[in-house]
Chains A and B, each alone.
Chain A
Amino acid sequence: MSVDEARAAAERAARDSYGRLLALLAAAAGDLALAEDALATAFEQALRTWPDSGVPRNPDGWLLTVARHRIRDVWRSAAHRTSAPLDDDVVDAAAADPLADVDPDAVPDRRLALLLVCAHPAIAPEVRTPLMLQTVLGLEAAQVARLFSVPPATMAQRLVRAKRRIATARIPFVLPDRSVLVERLPAVLEAVYGAAAATWRQDGRGLAGEAQHLAVVLAALLDDDPEAWALAALVTFALARRRPGPFVPLDEQDASTWRGDLIAEGEAYLRRSERPGVPGRFRLEAAVQAVHCDRRRTGTTDWSALRTLYLALDAVAPSLGARVALAVVVGRLDGPDAGLAALPPQPDPAFQPWWAARAALLVSAGRRGDAATAYRRAAELADDADVRTYLLARADDGPPAPTSPQISDPLR
């Protein structure tokens, strides 16, 4: 087996099982940082030995076993350093290894327990989502820092402190009672949503699929939580429209290339989220996505349905993004001047979707010069290279584009 093949196998294992293995190791050790170190050691060793020995039949089991030994070694050496004489009988493998009973052929999924540890009320709210993104989905600290517009060193320090706190205060890795589960759910939903948005444009790493999988697992576990099912629907619709390559705005996407199976799956989840009464934020966002996805079937977009949904979203969960999106819809229904009037005042700090929406509305209004300036400003603010390329191309466009303003879409 070549080094490349070994690397590919390790990367597959990393993508598919990182969160699962980490959840299991952390639950046993009660210590996220130690579990991460042990898992990193296991992956390093895999890259070193698999090229010669071949990829094991069960890579997960192999990685788990190595990581487990690593944890035991750390415990053992800590004991040796500090207490002498040490009776060997005391440190027998079973006693020092709470993972001894785990069958490496059937690694149980403890990711939800890990998600709930990260969302524990004893963890500061602002670090819960970053912690989940790093541990459960395996995002690097630098990626998480970028997503939250925080310097990498600051984010790394927050993550280290949170992990230390989990170990020191001994936050348990368990699935809590239903009542507690419901209490802690909003933070978990928020993190999964954040994960989907963060990973959306990353090609070839499967993280968008992983975020969707997590959303569905979470909803299935909770069974009857409407917002959990709505989030599963939202993320699934977004996955259905996902395509690699250059950025193409929603309006200009060829709906026939969207995946019908995933749209049907999303619609099924959305039906499970339906309840009498006021819909939640994720149900409204999922309904917005459902309206867009319906273009695959009908060939048109129901703009007035979108207006109703964005007005409701602005009432239930006001956000700058929703108001910008509403202005775009208004522009579509009532003309660009009405759209520009509906746009909220220029936000500070600058908000990329606001500038992109304004640019597109100005194009529709025939104000090419102003539009080019706004497109350039939007391009400056874009953190995605493909989006930047698209916006700059628009700024240099000659005739007005035939299409209308872009909907602000967190899951592009």
Chain B
Amino acid sequence: MPREIVMTTTGSDAPTADRPAAAPYPVDEVGTHGPQEDVMRYTLLLHYPEMSPEELGPEGIEYGQRAFTAYAATLQAAGVLVAGEVLQPSVATTTVRTVDGVLQVQDGPFADTKEQLGGTFVIDVPDLDAALEWARRAPSTDWGPVEVRPGALHTVDGVWMPSA
């Protein structure tokens, strides 16, 4: 069934801490989306402590590369991979935020924590159990937590579409 018919713009709720007030679309959290379709989009957010190439050593780097290559290949072979990103270290991050009503550009990450967002995988799977199973297999689980977040909307050719 086409995604359009399960879209809903009702039930818009107040902004929450983790969702900006100016969301591109009101998102109905209550779940009257309609009959479940075959897939639901989840983003796996991989957090882990940042280590320099020197700290990792050539073997560590090679191990990481192999693990991420194998993981992406497995997701691809399973037909669930939508997109994968491995990010540059947070020292390369620049953050744009409003400080005292003035929009400022600052160096550094949004939150200065031991574990930083290091990569993301976007997958289309039937349900949370399937998403959790893929998260369990992420190469970074030995080093840090993997957050599993259901998608609400995503763009297709610049147009917002529901992710479930």
Contacts and interface: CB of A to CB of B under 8 A. Distances in A.
Where chain A touches its partner, the secondary structure class is helix
Given A31-B31, A98-B36, A169-B150, A83 B126 contact: no
Interface string B1-37: 1101111111000000000000000000111111110
Which of A81, A86, A120, A167 is packed against the most chain B CB atoms within 10 Å? A167
Contacts of B34: 75, 78-79, 96
B35 A33 contact: no
A170 B32 contact: no
Where chain B touches its partner, the secondary structure class is loop
B5 A90 contact: yes
A367 B31 CA distance: 62
Interface of A: 29-31, 33-34, 74-75, 78-79, 81-83, 86, 90-91, 95-98, 120, 122, 164, 167-172, 174, 176, 180
B127 A164 contact: no
B7 A176 contact: no
A33 B8 contact: no
Interface in B115-134: 126-129, 132
Which of B5, B7, B30 is packed against the most chain A CB atoms within 10 Å? B5
A82 B36 contact: no
B13 to A, nearest CB: 10
Given A78-B34, A120-B128, A172-B126, 4 more contacts: A75-B32, A82-B10, A167-B31, A171-B127
A78 B2 contact: no
Contacts of A167: 30-31
Contacts of A30: 31, 36
A86 B164 CA distance: 19
Contact of A81 (B8, B33, B126): B8
Contacts of A82: 7-10
A169 B128 contact: yes
A86 B29 contact: no
Nearest to A34: B32
Given A82-B7, A91-B5, A75 B35 contact: yes
A31 B8 CA distance: 16
A170 B150 CA distance: 8
B40 interface: yes
